[in-house]
Amino acid sequence: MKLLYTVTSPIARKCRIIARELNLMDKIEEVITTTRSEDALIMKNNPNGMVPTLETDEGFNIVESMAICNYLEKQSTNKKFIPQDETKYWQIYALDSIASQTFESIVSRARERIYKPEEFHYPDGIKHEQGRAERTLDLLEKESPNYIDTFNKLHVTIGLCGLVLDNVFPNEEWKNNRNNLVSIYENFVKRDSFVETIIKKD
């Protein structure tokens, strides 16, 4: 398998982390690509030119991080990372689908903050996205007793949400009254899969 990614994409990083947690790195070649030119490597795999994109051994391409992660789960025998109880599995899947939408929203808002001049920011849209993040984080904290005991893909999504919020929106104080999410985040950034995927600057 080949996983195409850009080094600056937090969403692609989620797939890279989960591939490591699933013990699949001996089966995956990670390929750095660009996305902004028509002759970029990724255009051969995904005409949308978006990362992450996974080229499978069968020769087809899977896009969208959740779809890629679900496919990778099917290739893994790591039962510790994947809940074996069906109800538990779908409970975590459902929460992760909500968290993943929020993660993509946070990343989109971060890109606007970083790349757009302030006069082009859309205050009402920003407020709406902040509210979305707050509601989701509150839900995840409320539900955390149901999934906090064993590290799983929801922990990865929560950890990456926290990482982007800490780095780009430090004034939003997302950690207030969310002790379990903070615990998940602090454990997440210590894991080998996180450390191995840190962007290395020359």
Cβ-based neighbour number of residue 192 at 10 Å: 10
Which amino acid belongs to residue 174?
W
Q: Do the domains 86-191 and 2-75 match in fold?
A: no
Residue 200 is predicted with a pLDDT of: 65
Residue 201 is predicted with a pLDDT of: 54
Average confidence (pLDDT) per 10 residues, the chain, 202 residues: 95 98 97 88 93 96 96 93 94 97 95 74 78 97 95 97 96 96 98 91 49
Residue 36 is predicted with a pLDDT of: 83
Residue 119 is predicted with a pLDDT of: 67
Residue 202 is predicted with a pLDDT of: 44
Total-model pTM: 0.94
Contact (CB, 8 A) for 63 and 52: yes
How far is 43 from 33, CA to CA, in rounded Å?
Answer: 10
For the chain, the domains span 2-75, 86-191
Residue 124 is predicted with a pLDDT of: 75
Class of domain 2-75: alpha beta
Identify the CATH number of the domain defined by range 86-191: 1.20.1050.10
How far is 81 from 161, CA to CA, in rounded Å?
Answer: 19
